[in-house]
């Protein structure tokens, strides 16, 4: 029995976004992105209040719940990317809106409304969202 080592094939396996590892990471990022968007689509059970317009009513999320949708800007900003860095191919998902971090982690005046970390199990295929 002999083993043949192919450095180029191994390099492509771990560093090519179009290779099997890259395709699998993209599939997982898409699942996690979809889970995050589902979380950001749930109605809140928190306080109900009127917005600037007299006929516009919003029910906020309660502490610990994902943020309740209002205008949908955060949900619309969620996306994913697959790339390559010095460690190899990677996938990421999330939002570039600063409000996403404040909602995820909370602030001095607001308890967290996690939406990104709860989407992580979907990347592993363990999501029921």
pLDDT in tens, 102-116: 999 999 999 999 999
**pLDDT value of residue 127:** 56
How far is the CA of 54 from the CAs of 49, 50, 58, in angstroms?
10, 7, 11
Residue 9: band (very low, low, confident or very high) from pLDDT cuts 50, 70, 90: confident
- Is the pLDDT reported for residue 88 higher than 70? yes
In this model, does residue 4 exceed pLDDT 90?
A: no
Return the residue matching tokens 């860095």. Answer: 85
C-beta of residue 112 within 8 angstroms of C-beta of residue 64: yes
């Amino acid at each position: 029995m002999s083993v043949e080592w192919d450095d180029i094939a191994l390099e492509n396996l771990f560093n090519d976004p179009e290779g099997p590892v890259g395709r699998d990471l993209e599939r997982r990022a898409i699942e996690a992105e979809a889970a995050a968007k589902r979380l950001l689509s749930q109605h809140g059970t928190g306080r109900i209040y009127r917005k600037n317009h007299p006929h516009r009513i919003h029910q906020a999320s309660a502490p610990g719940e994902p943020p309740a949708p209002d205008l949908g800007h955060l949900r619309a900003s969620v996306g994913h990317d697959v790339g390559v860095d010095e460690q190899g191919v990677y996938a990421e998902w999330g939002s570039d809106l600063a409000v996403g971090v404040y909602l995820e982690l909370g602030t001095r005046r607001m308890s967290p409304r996690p939406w990104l970390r709860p989407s992580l199990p979907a990347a592993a295929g363990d999501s029921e969202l």
